[in-house]
Amino acid sequence: MVFKLSSASKIKINMSGCGKRNYDTENLALEALIEAIIRFPESTVTNVYQCDDCGNWHLTSRGAKHPYLIENLENGYIKRQRQALEWKGKLGYN
Q: Which residues bind Zn ion (CB under 5 A)?
A: 16, 18, 51, 53-54
Q: C-alpha angle 29/64/27, rounded to 5°?
A: 20
CA dist., res. 17 & res. 47, Å (int): 20
Q: By C-beta, is 15 or 84 nearer to Zn ion?
A: 15
Query: Which residue's CB comes closest to Zn ion?
Result: 51
Q: By C-beta, is 18 or 70 nearer to Zn ion?
A: 18
Q: By C-beta, is 42 or 52 nearer to Zn ion?
A: 52
Smallest distance from Zn ion to CB 9, Å: 25
Smallest distance from Zn ion to CB 37, Å: 21
CA dihedral over 40, 35, 56, 11, signed as positive or negative: positive
Smallest distance from Zn ion to CB 8, Å: 26
CA dist., res. 46 & res. 84, Å (int): 22
> Are 36 and 45 spatial neighbours (Cβ–Cβ below 8 Å)?
yes
